[in-house]
Amino acid sequence: MNIEYIGGPWPRGHWPRRLFTVFLALGIMAGAVRAQFYWDTSGSTAGAGGSTPSGTWSTSAANWSSSSAGTAATAAWSGSSNDAVFAAGTDATGAYTVTVSGSVSVNDITFAEGTVTIAGSTLTLARPSSSDNPTITVSAESATISAVLGSTFALTKAGSGALVLSGNNTFSGSMTVSQGVLNLQHNSALGTTAGSTTVSSGAAVELQGVSGGTAIVIGNEALSLSGTGVSGGGALRSVAGSNSWAGAITLAANASIVAELDSLTLSGNLNGSSSGRVLTFGGGGNTTVSGAIGGNVGNLVKTGSGTLALTATNSYTGTTTINAGTVSINSDRSLGAVPGSVISNEVVLDGGALAATANLTLSGNRGITIGAGGGALDVATGATLTYPGVLDGSGSLTKTGGGILSLTGGAANTLSGPTQVANGTLSLGKTASLDALASAQISVGDGTGAAGSAVLALAANNQIPNAALVTVASDGNFNVGAFTDTINQVGGLGLITIASGGTLTVGGTNGSSSFGGTLTGLGTLEKAGSGTLTFTQSFSLAGTLTLSGGTVALSNVDLTVGTLRITGNSILDFGAGASSLTATNLIIDPGVILTVANWTHLQDFFRVTTSFTQSGGPAAAREVSGVAPQNQIVFSGYSSDDTQWYSAANGNQLAPFPAPEPPVYGLGMAGLAAGLVAWRRRSGRGAG
């Protein structure tokens, strides 16, 4: 470059000023020319020196070429005004290490090919110009800088590749990730906390510790996030280890945070740069947000199989949607600001779970919707989650956790999908006659837990639809308590508990069902409707079995009840096997007929141990033989006039059966006395 003065000699006394002007021009021009040098360990031979051209980066090692092809003679690194490119030619495609030695300063760094690690001493990033800050571009798949990065200027990570910072860096400027991934593997990878970090849309910052080992702990570094990261992997992503970020996080746009593995803790406050920002948490790891989520965050979305723990008093104003994994809360305000009026879908479960870790009551204005993907409400053992709002939607709801979920309030739930109590207790306490469950399919237990570990408990009358099927698995307990309710069908192998004053009516819409579990308590089980209720397991109910319609079928079982009451024409079917029904008391309403079907003499037994009373009338006399009062017990295949009462010899039981005896029965005894002995023997085998 030549600078020529035309116009005669400089005026006397002005040459210093003129010379200064020239020198200033030279300096500006020199600063504007950005020289690029290419890593090259092969001298003037084309290329960088093979696929893995490791070497030393210093002011004395001749490993830099001014030719992008690597054909110019190489020289040592010459100063801070130059840019470094890895590497010359196209041959350096492998993994290699460049070791910084001594004092090295550079403007921009570009990793164009291969997998390069910059190790060694401090690498200082200088400012190319007053309007341009240092940029590290990774066009290759990845590059690592384990050397100490020092700078006082703002830095930019560009390029679609990943830049790994694993050194104890000292730079104090801000960091902008405009493209690709910035992977942090040291607590001081971002230098001092005087700066801040900005992640542009489509880019990501990653924390990568070691599972079960070293954690990455970022201090009070402010973080600005936009977008969902590279390929939707999260704008902030915790790759491995129990990592944390303590600085405040601002959503410059809708953004996602992902804990891919292990755990991530965010202790700084989170907010949007303006209102309505959508914040998404994802990944298979667990994330704890102990900082408050502010009011400029609108909707919160949970994806991925991990757990998101919200432990602060939050103010976000939108909905909470759980599409996968779990959101755990310790207070109502964990879910943000309380709505001023009912919002039907303020919390949406569509493949995920909402978990309560402490005793709490959710606002009734937070409507909970169960989407097609289903959802779970989990309550920790020892805790109670009370929900007075409305459950709606069409998906399946599962109650999990060993604690109590209490559904209360003055508005009926409209959730139409199946409901399952997998563990703990689901307590139904809506205002009487308002359905706490609208589902026609209710399951108590799943057969995998300890007996009674899953409980469906009534806390008010009429909480379940009359058309519902309630299946009680072997680990389930349908606890009716002292309340009343009607269902259509009952099934399963578990326990039904009915306390004194309580009544469970089965057959509400004339359905038929088979129950292989047990009943206990002093309350009443009523069989209603025209369908059939079949018992396939023996049990003893101290309370009352009421037959108001349809059929009760016994399938090779022995049932004992405190009182058998017949309030409507009904059928008692003894089936194909040997069965018995023993009642302490028998009460039959006037004009009502009990038909006994499939009776086999000396195999099936129907006994009353204390009294037979016609409702509103006197007790039946204990006769050795005689016609049953008003012929209200009829044996199928026999005339009602042939129905007889016989009393055992000890006077402690009454047994109705058809008389005269059919031939097969007559052959079994020489006379009445022999028949009574047979009854006693049957009783003595433990059937009643």
CA torsion angle 544 548 549 550 (round to 10): 0
Of 8-12, 382-386, 402-406, the range with the lowest mean pLDDT is 8-12
Q: Is pLDDT at 589 greater than 70 in this prediction?
A: yes
With cut-offs at 50, 70 and 90, classify the pLDDT of residue 599.
confident
Q: Is pLDDT at 684 greater than 60 in this prediction?
A: no
pLDDT value of residue 647: 56
With cut-offs at 50, 70 and 90, classify the pLDDT of residue 370.
very high
Q: Is pLDDT at 484 greater than 70 in this prediction?
A: yes
With cut-offs at 50, 70 and 90, classify the pLDDT of residue 337.
very high
Predicted confidence (pLDDT) per residue in 398-415, tens digit: 999 999 999 999 999 999
Mean pLDDT over 189-197 rounds to 89
Report DSSP state, residue 41: S
Mean pLDDT over 380-397 rounds to 98
pLDDT value of residue 659: 56
Cα dihedral 605, 610, 613, 616 sign: negative
With cut-offs at 50, 70 and 90, classify the pLDDT of residue 433.
confident
pLDDT value of residue 640: 57
Mean pLDDT over 446-464 rounds to 97
Residue pair 233/205 in contact by the 8 Å Cβ criterion:
no
Residue pair 243/209 in contact by the 8 Å Cβ criterion:
yes
Q: Is pLDDT at 51 greater than 50 in this prediction?
A: yes
With cut-offs at 50, 70 and 90, classify the pLDDT of residue 81.
confident
With cut-offs at 50, 70 and 90, classify the pLDDT of residue 635.
confident
Cα dihedral 605, 608, 614, 618 sign: positive
Q: Is pLDDT at 237 greater than 50 in this prediction?
A: yes
With cut-offs at 50, 70 and 90, classify the pLDDT of residue 8.
very low
pTM above 0.85, yes or no: yes
pLDDT value of residue 477: 99
Of 241-250, 268-277, 604-613, 643-652, the range with the lowest mean pLDDT is 643-652
Cα–Cα distance, 267 to 219 (Å, whole number): 10
- Give residue for tokens 């057969």: 447
pLDDT value of residue 71: 97
With cut-offs at 50, 70 and 90, classify the pLDDT of residue 454.
very high
Q: Is pLDDT at 468 greater than 70 in this prediction?
A: yes
Query: Which residues is 238 bridged to in the sheet?
Result: 207, 259
Of 130-134, 357-361, 507-511, 577-581, the range with the lowest mean pLDDT is 130-134
Residue pair 103/123 in contact by the 8 Å Cβ criterion:
no
Cα–Cα distance, 152 to 169 (Å, whole number): 12
pLDDT value of residue 193: 74
Residue pair 141/116 in contact by the 8 Å Cβ criterion:
no
Retrieve residue 61's tokens: 């090692």
CA torsion angle 245 251 255 256 (round to 10): 20
Report long-range pairs for 669-676 (Cβ below 8 Å, ≥24 apart).
Answer: 672/624, 672/625, 672/646, 673/649, 675/646, 676/646, 676/647, 676/648, 676/649
Q: Is pLDDT at 510 greater than 50 in this prediction?
A: yes
Q: Is pLDDT at 623 greater than 80 in this prediction?
A: no
Mean pLDDT over 308-329 rounds to 99
Cα–Cα distance, 336 to 353 (Å, whole number): 17
pLDDT value of residue 612: 73
CB atoms near residue 2 (< 10 Å)? 3
Mean pLDDT over 312-317 rounds to 98
pLDDT value of residue 23: 36
With cut-offs at 50, 70 and 90, classify the pLDDT of residue 602.
confident
Cα–Cα distance, 77 to 98 (Å, whole number): 13
Mean pLDDT over 238-254 rounds to 98
Cα–Cα distance, 439 to 433 (Å, whole number): 15
Element (H, E) at 110: strand 109-111
Report DSSP state, residue 126: P
Residue 508 vs residue 663, higher pLDDT: 508
Retrieve residue 480's tokens: 């009716």
Q: Is pLDDT at 287 greater than 60 in this prediction?
A: yes
Task: Provide the percentage of residues in the chain whose pLDDT is more than 90.
Answer: 78
Q: In what order do the strands lie in the sheet with 558-566?
A: 484-487, 503-506, 524-527, 539-547, 558-566, 580-588, 605-614, 654-658, 643-647, 625-627
CB atoms near residue 392 (< 10 Å)? 16
Cα of first residue to Cα of last residue in the chain, in angstroms, is 117
Domain ranges of the chain: 580-687
pLDDT value of residue 569: 96
Retrieve residue 630's tokens: 């008003």
Q: Is pLDDT at 671 greater than 60 in this prediction?
A: no
Cα–Cα distance, 510 to 552 (Å, whole number): 13
Mean pLDDT over 584-599 rounds to 90
pLDDT value of residue 654: 60
**Average pLDDT over the chain, rounded to an integer:** 88
pLDDT value of residue 611: 75
Q: Is pLDDT at 460 greater than 60 in this prediction?
A: yes
Catalogue the E-assigned strands of 551-601: 551-554, 558-566, 570-573, 580-588, 594-597
pLDDT value of residue 17: 36
